[in-house]
Amino acid sequence: MLTALMAGAAGLTGCTSGGGSGSDTDSKAGDSSPLPAPAGKYRILPAPCKAVDGKRLKAMLPAGDSLTDAQRAQLYAGVADTSYDGDRHVGCRWTAQSPEETRLLSVGFERVVSYDRTLMSDDDKARQVYVRRLTDAHLPFPGPTTSPTASTGSSAPASPGAPPPAAGQSPSPGVSGSPSAPPPELGSRVLEGLGAEAYVEDKLSAAGASAAQGRTVRIVFRTSNVIVTVEYVVQPALPGTVPPSPETQDKARQLAQALVERFNE
């Protein structure tokens, strides 16, 4: 009888142990923690002062004839922005001066990281940052993809009280205080075909009796989890000369497209 009781107790112990293992297995199977989103495509940023090829730099920033070879080399080497986190934010800028004008070029790269990828991926966080900048630029999102009225052929409404131009004559530039700029004005707008999404800002500085109007073109685009900013400034030395919108925007956009291709390599 004692032997039978001990055997029965051993059997109960075995059943209890087996039941405990089953309980642990069920608990683990029910643990459905959300998986983190994949990290962004880009883990490092390019060296900003080497991101623009020399031929393009010379086309956008023509050097004066008075510069020595050493001065030219220093001009096209660029000056790196101060950065305390080279994996997250870097930039470079170049300046070319001549008696006729001053030209400035800068490029900036920002790698966006989501601190909690169970809630938002790096790409989604970068898109959030991009949309915030688009909003700060006072451009609609999603924005128009067509050019403003000047490039679509429709004319702007005449100013109140301004007489219509005579036959064969063009309207007088500067009527009602508007800046005297050569047409067409492409303006600020959302861009297509540049990275995942992009926009351009095109601004003229205020005109004055002794101050020439400078043009600043800024292109911002996103590729995956990196946001790139290209800024190109043309500042004439003498009043009356206005940098053309199409040429300035075209040079900035060609550089932006080259940077997109660099990221895709």
What's 101's domain CATH number? Answer: 3.40.1000
Residue 120 lies in a domain: yes
Q: Indicate the pTM of the whole model.
A: 0.72
Residue 40 CA to residue 76 CA, distance in Å, equals 32
Domain region containing 63: 53-72+90-147+182-265
Express the helix, strand and coil content of the chain in percent, nearest 5 each. Answer: 35, 20, 45
Residue 170 lies in a domain: no
Give the pLDDT confidence score for residue 195 in this predicted structure. Answer: 96
Residue 137 lies in a domain: yes
Total number of domains in the chain: 1
Give the pLDDT confidence score for residue 260 in this predicted structure. Answer: 96
Residue 133 lies in a domain: yes
pLDDT, tens digit only, all 265 positions of the chain: 444 444 444 444 444 444 444 444 444 455 566 788 888 899 999 999 999 999 999 999 998 888 899 999 999 999 999 988 989 999 999 999 988 999 999 999 999 999 888 889 999 999 999 999 999 999 886 544 444 433 333 333 333 333 444 444 444 344 344 455 445 788 999 999 999 999 999 999 987 777 889 999 999 999 999 999 999 999 999 888 899 999 999 999 999 999 999 998 8
Query: Can you give the length of the chain in residues?
Result: 265
Residue 19 lies in a domain: no
The burial of 201, by beta-carbon neighbours within 10 Å (0-12 exposed, 13-18 middle, 19 or more buried), is given as middle
Give the pLDDT confidence score for residue 240 in this predicted structure. Answer: 84
Residue 82 lies in a domain: no
Residue 138 lies in a domain: yes
Residue 21 lies in a domain: no
Residue 61 CA to residue 102 CA, distance in Å, equals 9
